[in-house]
Amino acid sequence: MALNLEQKKTIVAEVAEVAGKAHSVVVAEYAGLTAAQMTDLRSKARKEGVYVRVVKNTLARRAVEGTEFACLQETLTGPLMVAFSQEDPGGAGRVISEFVKGNDKLVVKAVSIGGKLLPAAELARLARIPNKPQAISQLMAVMKAPVGKLAATLAAVRDQKAGAAA
């Protein structure tokens, strides 16, 4: 189905808006996936706050111009889909990484975060970035550790003094 100029402008504007707010992006070749598999991927992505879109390469190039994802320009060749993390930096990495385990036809071509183009091999590293609740939990554990250590030390000193007094 051919797109007219207005439809193309709408797609570019939509993808550019998402790219402007996104934390990271994964670009993957989807050739060979069935419609049901793509629907499954989109469903999982929506639950994780990841925007997945199959878009023509020329439109994708225009959409990422002027964003931190402009570094992807050279990788946009072939039948591609883009997955933008909207809620946390590792979201797209986790969704695509999980999907690739069961679908070898989805081939990751590039990953970008913070304006840097990373090779496809960095997908696992991107997937390991914690989401907000995980990051807060890790921060609280780090903050709680010294307090717990201090309380244990004070209790040991108290017990030692109580033992010496008796």
The pLDDT value given to residue 1? 60
Burial (Cβ within 10 Å: 0-12, 13-18, ≥19) of residue 27: buried
Mind listing the pLDDT tens digit for each residue in 75-121?
888 889 999 998 888 888 899 989 988 888 888 898 998 888 888 88
For the chain, the maximum distance between any two Cα atoms, rounded to a whole number of angstroms, is: 91
The pLDDT value given to residue 40? 92
The pLDDT value given to residue 166? 66
5-129 CATH:
3.30.70.1730
Going by C-alpha positions, the residue among 81, 69, 72, 71 that lies closest to residue 17 is 69
**Domain range list for the chain:** 5-129, 130-166
Q: 94 Cβ partners below 8 Å, 6+ apart? A: 48, 127
Using alpha carbons only, what angle is made at residue 40 by residues 75 and 35, rounded to the nearest 5 degrees? 75
User: Consecutive sets of 10 residues in the chain, 166 residues long: mean pLDDT of each?
Assistant: 82 89 90 90 91 90 89 87 89 90 87 86 79 77 84 86 78
The pLDDT value given to residue 122? 82
| CA atoms 87, 24, 100, 46: torsion sign | positive
31 phi, psi to nearest 5 deg: -55, 130
The pLDDT value given to residue 114? 82
Q: How far is CA 19 from CA 83, 144, 164, in A?
A: 10, 37, 67
